[in-house]
Structure 1
Amino acid sequence: MGSDLTLEFEFRNKRFRDAEKGLRSFHHHLKASWDGSAKVLSQELRAFLDEIAQAMVLRHSGAWPGGTGSETLSKRSGKMLQSIVDSVVVNGQTFSTIRGTIGGSMIAGVQEFGATIKPKKAKYLTVPLPAALNSDGTPRKKSAREWDNTFVARSKAGNLIIFQRRGTQIVPLYVLKTSVTIPPRLGMRKTLDVGLPYFVEKSMDAIVRAVATAKGA
């Protein structure tokens, strides 16, 4: 920077006119404690992604079936939510190499982006009805084939249903569908976007404190 160059910047509603001197000083101390500052950034990124994962757990832990809405999912086995928590990874030792990822299982991806599911081999998908589910919404059997005394018939509404004979009762177990469309309801990307500015501000505050500590050491 030349001596005749004037830089101004605003941070937290305070305007700094002598930016050149301030930035030179900050750069000097940041460079002197680069590894420590990168470590702080890595820690803040890990904390941020862990918070996003926990936000997903809290949002989608309502009891089945009432917890399912336009932007929420009922908690069933809990495996999908745990896959999100377990997916958080932060790698890298410097500012240029630090990377953080968050994802989850294939089911989490489907719930995040939405999808139309079609049968791969069979003609129909078997969508379980309440009688084929446990109280938490998980399937009682791995497949419709595991049920005894079943038959297929068309309902009054025109849907193909797998029924089971239970003595004198006829119980609907599954509805047969050629495809099922799942809307996006997880909301991970939206939560990341909302939280990102707070992460940046919190990280910079932590880095500045780390640099100040290193300067005073």
Structure 2
Amino acid sequence: MGTEIRFALDFRNKRFNDASKGLAALAKELNADWDGAAKVLSKELQSFLNSVAEALAKRHGNAWPGGTGEKTLSRRSGKLVASILSSVTVTGTHYDEIKGYIGAAFPGPVHEYGATIRPKTAKFLTVPLPAALNPNGTPKKKSAREWQNTFVARTKAGNLVIFQKTGTQIIPLYVLRTMVKIKPRLGMQETISAGLPYFVDRAADQIVRAMLAGASK
């Protein structure tokens, strides 16, 4: 999950597709040191990526199950959102070395791009039903094998289900599937792309302002 950000700069009626060359020309004109632009760019990139992470945390922060929609995920354990917030990193000390990173721990990539999941060794995937989940949507057990007094039966609808017998109660715990399709809902790339024009304009403006301020000292 990555996006390359390129800067262009207009100076003296000339278009510099490589902004570093344009900044160098501006610095020469102002008799200033443009290497200080790296600090400004680093700060702006950090701010931008933090805003992306916070937007994703807000979008996917509603409680399970109501928080799940076409473009949203319900908050369950909170680990996915926490991994996004803590992932933001900016490195580099020179303008052409500045790099920013934002990511998500597994299953983040699955929710970003979507996936078709099939069992690796067993015949079926066990998809937990509400009775096998905690109030926040996390599984009560690590696997279906940890439940006692269970049996498999086919429902009237034709689904294979793992049931648990508790006294006189028969409780559906898992539905068995040969595959599960997961829709792309995270929207990290989409959020980054939507904010890029604003980020590029602001970063370029702040860099030029810093250079002008330095030249006037």
Q: 1:93 is paired with a residue of what secondary structure?
A: coil
What is the distance in 2 between the residues matched to 1:105 and 1:180?
20
Change (3 A) 1:176 1:26: same
Alignment partner, residue 164 of structure 1: 164
Change (3 A) 1:98 1:157: same
Which structure has the bigger radius of gyration? 1
Q: Which runs of 5+ in 2 are unaligned?
A: 1-8, 15-21
How many angstroms does 1:41 deviate by? Answer: 0.1
Contact 2:27 2:211 in 1 (8 A): no
Contact 1:29 1:215 in 2 (8 A): no
After TM superposition, the score normalised by the length of structure 1 is: 0.87
What is the distance in 2 between the residues matched to 1:103 and 1:143?
28
**What are the equivalent positions in structure 2 for 1:103-142 lying under 5 Å apart?**
103-142=103-142
Contact 2:127 2:174 in 1 (8 A): yes
**What are the equivalent positions in structure 2 for 1:1-217 lying under 5 Å apart?**
19=13, 26-28=26-28, 32-217=32-217
How many angstroms does 1:27 deviate by? Answer: 3.4
List per-residue Cα deviations over 1:32-91 (Å, max 9, x = no partner). Answer: 332211111011111111110111100001111011000001000010111111221211
How many angstroms does 1:30 deviate by? Answer: 7.2
What is the distance in 2 between the residues matched to 1:19 and 1:176?
66
Q: List structure 1 segments (4+ residues) > 6 angstroms apart after TM superposition.
A: none
After TM superposition, the score normalised by the length of structure 2 is: 0.87
- Aligned partner letter, 1:96: D
Relative to structure 2, which stretch is displaced further, 97-106 or 57-66?
A: 97-106
How many angstroms does 1:188 deviate by? Answer: 0.8
Alignment partner, residue 7 of structure 1: none
Task: Give the CA RMSD over aligned residues.
Answer: 2.0
Higher RCO, Cα 8 Å, sep 6+: 2
What is the distance in 2 between the residues matched to 1:29 and 1:93?
23
Q: 2:157 is paired with a residue of what secondary structure?
A: coil
Relative to structure 2, which stretch is displaced further, 34-43 or 48-57?
A: 34-43
Contact 2:56 2:186 in 1 (8 A): yes
Alignment partner, residue 5 of structure 2: none
What is the distance in 1 between the residues matched to 2:119 and 2:13?
62
How many angstroms does 1:25 deviate by? Answer: 6.9
Alignment partner, residue 3 of structure 2: none
What is the distance in 1 between the residues matched to 2:144 and 2:176?
10
How many angstroms does 1:31 deviate by? Answer: 7.4
Identity rate of aligned residues, in percent? 58
What is the distance in 2 between the residues matched to 1:43 and 1:171?
54
Contact 1:29 1:211 in 2 (8 A): no
- Aligned partner letter, 1:139: P
List per-residue Cα deviations over 1:157-178 (Å, max 9, x = no partner). Answer: 1111000011101000000111
Relative to structure 2, which stretch is displaced further, 28-37 or 142-151?
A: 28-37
What is the distance in 2 between the residues matched to 1:66 and 1:139?
17
Q: 1:32 is paired with a residue of what secondary structure?
A: coil
